[in-house]
Structure 1
Amino acid sequence: MAGHSKWNNIKRRKGAQDAKKGKIFMKHARDIFIAAKEGGADQEMNSNLRLAVDKAKSDNMPNENIDRAIKKATGDLDGVSYEEFTYEGYGPGGVAIMVTVLTDNKNRTAAEVRHAFSKNGGNLGENGCVAFMFNRKGYLVIDRKEVEVDEEELMLEVIEAGGEELEASKEQFEVFTTPEDFTNVKAGLEKSGYVFNSADVTMFPTTYTPLDEDGVEKMLNLIDTLEDNDDVQEVYHNLDADDEVVEKLS
Structure 2
Amino acid sequence: MSGHSKWHNIQGRKNAQDAKRGKIFQKLSKEIYMAARNGDIDPTNNPALRLVMDKARSANMPKDNIQRAIKKAQGGDGESYDEVTYEGYGPGGVAVFVETLTDNKNRTATSVRLNFSRNGGTLGEPGSVAYMFDRKGYLVIDRSTTDVEEDDLLLEIMDAGAEDLQTSDDAFEIYTGAKEFTDVRDALESAGYELANSELTMIPQNKMAVPEEKQEQFERMIDALEDNDDVQNVYTAAEDEDDE
What are the ranges of 5 or more consecutive residues in structure 1 without an aligned counterpart?
246-250
Deviations 1:212-249 (A, max 9, x none): 3332222111110000111110000000131499xxxx
Cα distance in structure 1, aligned partners of 2:130 and 2:116? 17
- Does the CA-based 8 Å contact 2:4-2:242 persist in structure 1? no
State the TM-score, normalized to the length of structure 1: 0.90
* 1:66-81 matched pairs, under 5 angstroms: 66-77=66-77, 79-81=78-80
TM-score, normalised via structure 2 length: 0.92
Residue 119 of structure 2 aligns to which amino acid in structure 1?
Answer: N
Instruction: State percent identity of aligned pairs.
Output: 51
2:33 alignment counterpart: 33
Matches within 5 A, 1:1-250: 1-3=1-3, 5=5, 9-21=8-20, 22-77=22-77, 79-243=78-242
Superposed displacement of residue 9, structure 1: 4.5
Kept in 1: contact 2:5–2:166 (CA 8 A): no
- More divergent stretch after superposition (91-100 vs 62-71): 62-71
* Residues 9 and 243, structure 1, Cα contact 8 Å, conserved in 2: no
Where structure 2 has 5 or more consecutive residues not aligned to the other structure, the ranges are: none
| Runs of 4 or more above 6 Å deviation | none
CA RMSD of aligned residues (A): 1.9
**Distance (whole Å) between structure 2 residues aligned to residue 47 and residue 36 of structure 1:** 10
Q: Distance in 2 between matches of 1:116 and 1:197?
A: 31
Q: Give the secondary structure class of the aligned counterpart of 2:188.
A: helix
Check conservation: 1:3, 1:208, Cα contact below 8 A: no
Residue 11 of structure 1: how far off its partner (Å): 4.2
Structure 2: how far apart are the matches of 1:101 and 1:193?
Answer: 34
**Which amino acid is the alignment partner of residue 187 of structure 2?**
G
| Amino acid in structure 2 at the alignment position of 1:45 | N
Q: Which amino acid aligns with 2:104?
A: N
SS at match of 2:56: helix
